[in-house]
Chains A and B, each alone.
Chain A
Amino acid sequence: MSQHSSTHEHAHGGTSLYVRTLITLLILTAITVGASYIDFGQGNVVIALFIATIKATIVALFFMHLRYDKPVNAVIACAGFLFLGIFLMFCFIDFGSRDGLRPVNWNGKLPVETAAPAPGAAPAPAQK
C-alpha cells in the first residue's frame, strides 16, 4: 500500500513542479488580459480561447495529474470535451446557415401577440 502512495509521490508532482505550473498559469493570464487591449478583430476571440485552452490543459495535466494518471481517465476527460464539441459544431452549422427569410412586403415588424383573436375585434388603434 505504501508502495502505491509512494509511486504517486515520487513519480510526479513535487512542490517545485506545482510552483512552476502556477507561475506559467499566471503569466498566461497576464498575456490574455494584455492581448485583450489590442484589437485583432476576429482574432481576439481566437487568441483568448486558445490561451484559455492552453491554461486548461496545463491544469488538467499537472494539477489534475492526468499526465501521470491511468490513460482511461484522460480518455473520459477528452470524451467530455469531444461531445461538447459535437454539440457546439452542429448547433453552429444550423445557426450559421439559417436564411433570415422575410416576406417581400415586410413592414419591418414581426407580429406580436394581440389580445383579440376574432376579426373585427381589434383593440386600440395601432400606433404605426
Chain B
Amino acid sequence: MLPPQGSAYAAEVDTMYMALFWLSVVLFLGIAVAAIGFAWRYRYKPGRVTPHQTHNTMLEIVWTVIPLLLCVGIFFWGLHGWMEYAVAPGEAMEVQIVAKKWIWQFEYPDGTRTVNEIHVPVNKPVRFVMTSEDVIHDFFVPDMRVKHDIVPGRYTEVWFTPTVLGVHHVTCAEYCGKGHSDMQAKLSVDTDAQYANFMETGGTEWEDYKNNPAAWGKLQYERKGCSTCHSIDGTRITGGGPSWKGIWGKMEEMNDGKKVLVDQDYVTESMMYPQAKIVKGFEPIMPTFQGLLRSHEQQGLIAFIKSLGNDPKGGPPAPTMLSLPPKAQPGQTQAQPGQTQAQPGQAPAQGQK
C-alpha cells in the first residue's frame, strides 16, 4: 500500500498511517454493519409501529466525547511524528534546490551542481533549502515520506536521513504546467565511498561539455565566484583582479618587475597558489582554489580564458577536451547507478544558442 521505506522517518509515518488505516477499517465496518444491518433487520413491514425516540442525552454525549478524545490523541501522535519532519538537525548537510519549469537543479555546499540527479551519503541527515525561479513546485520523495512546496521569492526546507542505498524517485507534487508530470529526478543514496567518488568527479554534468571546455569554464566562472573579481569585458573591477579579456598569451608584468607569459602553467598556479605571482598594480587578495576545483573544472576555466584571448586560435595551447585524472576511474564508478546513464529530458549542452 505504501512505497518502500527509505528513511528512518518513513517508519514513523507508516506506523501512524497503518494505525489510522485499521482504525478506519474498524469504524467503517461498524457503520456499514449498522446501516445495512438495520436496513435488513428493520425492513418494512406493513403496520409496524416505530418507537418515538427523540433523543438520548447520555448516548449522544458518549458519541460526542469518545470521538473527541480519539481525535485529540491522533492529533498529538501526528504532531509528534511531524516534529521530526519539521526540525532539521543542525549537523545536516545542506543542499540547495532551485526548481524551475521543469527541471531540478541541486547545488552542493562546495558549489557542485547537478541537474535532475542528486547524490547523498547514506545514514547522514541531509537538508534541502529550496527556492523556485518561476512558479510553485513541490519536492516530493515518496520513499522518504517527505514533501514540501517550493515557493518563488523565498526559501523553504525539507530534510531526511536516507537509510536505504540505491535510487529513489523525486517527483514534483505541485501543479506547474505542461511538463508537471515530467518533472522528475533521481535521488541516489550512496555509500560513503561512492559519495566521495561522486564529489571528486562532480557528477555527470561535465560530460555534456566534454567537447566544449570553454563553455564549461564559463559556467565555472559564474558558479565558483571568479566573476566577482575578474571581468571578461576588459574592465577592471574595483578591489578585484585583472580582467580575463585578451589576457591569454600576453606577457604580464609582475609587481617584482618580472614578465610572465599567461599560459596553462601560469593560470593553474594562479588558481592554486594565488600569492606566488602578483600582477603589477593589483593587491594580493585572491583566495586559493586548491581543493575547490576539480581537474575538469580547471581545464574548462583555462579553455575559457583562452577563448577570451584576442586571437582565440593563437597563443599557448589549452585543453580541447575535458578529462578526469586517471586516479578517479576505479571500478567503483560502475556501482553508481545514476551516473553512467544519460538523463532524460536534459538537453545536451552544446549547440544550444
A residues whose Cβ falls under 8 Å from a Cβ of B: 101-105, 110-114, 116-123, 125-126, 128
Question: Given A111-B133, A125-B222, do A120 and B216 touch, yes or no (CB 8 Å)?
Answer: yes
B174 in contact (CB, < 8 A): no
Q: Which residue of A lies closest to B226 (CB)?
A: A128
Please measure, in the bound complex, the distance between the C-alpha atom of A105 and the C-alpha atom of B110, giving whole angstroms: 9
Output the residue of A117, A118, A119, A125 with the most chain B CB within 10 A. A119
A126 touches which one: B129, B134, B212, B222 (CB < 8 A)?
B222
Q: How far is the CB of A116 from chain B (nearest CB, A)?
A: 6
**Interface-facing stretch out of B31-39, B151-159, B284-292:** B151-159
- B227–A128 touching, CB < 8 Å: yes
A118 touches B133 (CB 8 A): no
Indicate if the CB atoms of B109 and A122 lie closer than 8 Å: no
Range for the number of chain B residues in contact with chain A: 35 or more
Are A119 and B208 in touch, CB under 8 angstroms?
yes
Whether B215 pairs with A120 at a CB distance below 8 angstroms is yes
Chain A residues with Cβ under 8 A from B208's Cβ?
Answer: 119-120
Q: Which residues of A contact B301 (CB under 8 A)?
A: none
Return the CB mask of B210-245 against A: 1 if under 8 Å, else 0: 001001101101100001100011000000000000
Interchain CA distance A105-B113 in the complex, whole Å: 14
B350 part of interface (Cβ distance < 8 Å): yes
B66 contacts chain A at the CB level, 8 A cutoff: no
Q: Is the CB–CB distance between A103 and B155 below 8 Å?
A: yes
Which residues in B have their C-beta under 8 angstroms from that of A102?
Answer: 129, 155
B221 (CB) vs chain A CBs: closest residue: A125
Provide the B89-101 mask, 1 if CB < 8 A to any CB of A, else 0.
Answer: 0000010101011
Q: Which residues of A contact B209 (CB under 8 A)?
A: 120
Contacts between chains A and B (CB distance < 8 A), count: 75
Residues of B near A121 (CB, < 8 A) are 347, 349, 352-353
Q: Which residue of B lies closest to A128 (CB)?
A: B227
Closest to B135 in A: A113
Cα A121 to Cα B218 with chains together (Å): 10
The one of B109, B129, B228, B350 that contacts A101, using a Cβ cutoff of 8 Å? B129
B352/A103 in contact, CB under 8 A: no
**Known contacts A105-B109, A111-B131: A125-B212 contact under CB 8 Å:** no
In the complex, residue of chain B having the shortest beta-carbon distance to the beta carbon of A112: B133
What is the minimal beta-carbon distance from A53 to any residue of chain B, in angstroms?
A: 34
B245 to chain A, nearest CB (A): 11
Say if the beta carbon of B205 comes within 8 Å of chain A.
Answer: yes
Chain A binding surface, main DSSP class: loop
* Cβ-based interface call for B115 (8 A): yes
Q: Annotate B165-180 by CB proximity to A: 1 below 8 A, 0 otherwise.
A: 0000000000000000
Nearest Cβ distance between residue A59 and chain B, in whole angstroms? 40
- Is there an interface contact between B109 and A119, defined as CB atoms closer than 8 Å? no
A102-B155, A117-B103 given as contacts; is B133 within 8 A of A122 (CB)? no
CA distance in complex: A95, B134 (Å): 22
Contact between B349 and A120, CB atoms less than 8 A apart? yes
Q: A118-B347, A119-B115 are in contact. List 11 more A-B contacts (CB 8 A).
A: A101-B129, A101-B157, A103-B129, A105-B96, A110-B152, A117-B100, A117-B103, A120-B350, A125-B222, A128-B222, A128-B227
A87→B26 CA distance, assembly (Å):
37
For B215, the chain A residues whose CB sits under 8 A away are 120
- 9 A-B pairs with the lowest CB-CB distances in the bound complex, closest first: A120-B349, A121-B352, A118-B347, A103-B129, A101-B155, A121-B353, A128-B227, A111-B133, A118-B352
Q: Whole-angstrom distance from the CB of A60 to the nearest CB of chain B?
A: 37
Report how far A126 CA is from B232 CA in the complex, Å. Answer: 11
Q: Is B346 on the interface with A (CB-CB < 8 A)? A: yes
State whether A122 touches B129 (Cβ < 8 A).
no
Q: Hey, which chain A residues are within 8 Å of B218, CB to CB?
A: 122, 125
Contacts A104-B109, A111-B131: A120 and B228 contacting too (C-beta < 8 A)?
no
Give every chain B residue within 8 A of A104 (Cβ-Cβ): 94, 109, 129
Q: B132's closest neighbor in chain A, by CB?
A: A111
Min C-beta distance of A110 to chain B, whole Å: 6
Asked if B94 contacts A119 (CB within 8 A), the reply is no
Closest to A118 in B: B347
Which chain A residues border B157 with CB–CB below 8 Å?
101
In the bound complex, residues from chain B placing their C-beta under 8 Å from that of A113 are 100, 133-134
Give min CB distance, A73 to chain B, whole Å. Answer: 33
Contacts of A111 in B (CB 8 A): 98, 131, 133
